[in-house]
Amino acid sequence: MDGYHRDVSALFPWVGPTIIRIKVFRRAEVTDEHGNPGLDFIFVDEHREVSRFKITSDNWIKNENLINKHDYVIILSNESVVKTLDPLSNNHFFEFKDFADVINGKHNVLHSLDLIGVISYIGKLSPPSISSYRRRSIPFQIKNERNIELYCIAYGELAEDLYESWKKMNRTNIVAVIREWKITKSDGEIIVIDAGGLSSFWFDPSIAEAETIIKNINKKDDDTYPSSLFMKNISEKMAAVHID
């Protein structure tokens, strides 16, 4: 089948080569074993997941359909694999990690992660004003239904956006979702920090997991804020992992 398809559902994995237009959902810059730069990414539509393909700048014959700033296209061959997916309109694509697994070192520190929890503490945005020699940062803490807590730090514009969004909420038990953050260690303790331009956050997103965590936390009579020990040490932890 030598053709152009807007919808991946029209493809068949045993016929090739086929050229498709595809949407990249998530991407991350990587380095291969030889030190060469590369890109990991996920592409999706409402029906299919496609793997085993190649990218080429050859054979693009319908320039009127070109929406990119380059000529590269994805080519599916007879080795390509097409799998049926649930409709993506019902999938938010968060892959939430278990807090205990993160603390116990079961998550690969080279991979980004998504987390969901209630904000139990948020510190001060520092330095107080924009500095020419130091990025602004803000520490905060999230907890899950089992009261397991993770220390987190956001930097730069993300820190400023997070702080401003937090001020607008003006209440307790706010569910935070953070996507594509990374893990570091300070004095042997796990700390979650943002990974730069790929990282993002949401407060009280309209997803089932957020409703569930609030329901479970409201059943418990627990303290919303962390211990004074954390408040005493958080500035030291933040300084230890600060990235200029």
Better-scored residue on pLDDT, 62 or 108: 108
CA distance 87 to 103: 33
pLDDT at 24: 67
pLDDT at 162: 96
Q: How many domains does the chain have?
A: 2
Per-residue pLDDT band at 133 (split at 50, 70, 90)? confident
- Of 90, 122, 140, the position where a domain reaches its end is 90
Cα–Cα separations (whole angstroms), residue 12 to 72, 75, 86, 205? 21, 13, 18, 36
Same domain, 125 and 233: yes
Same domain, 140 and 74: no
The pLDDT of residue 127 is above 80: yes
Same domain, 177 and 202: yes
pLDDT at 37: 76
Same domain, 75 and 117: no
Same domain, 218 and 139: yes
The pLDDT of residue 44 is above 60: yes
Range of the domain at 154: 99-240
Max mean pLDDT range (47-51, 79-83, 210-214) = 210-214
- Of 39, 62, 90, the position where a domain reaches its end is 90
Same domain, 31 and 70: yes
Same domain, 69 and 108: no
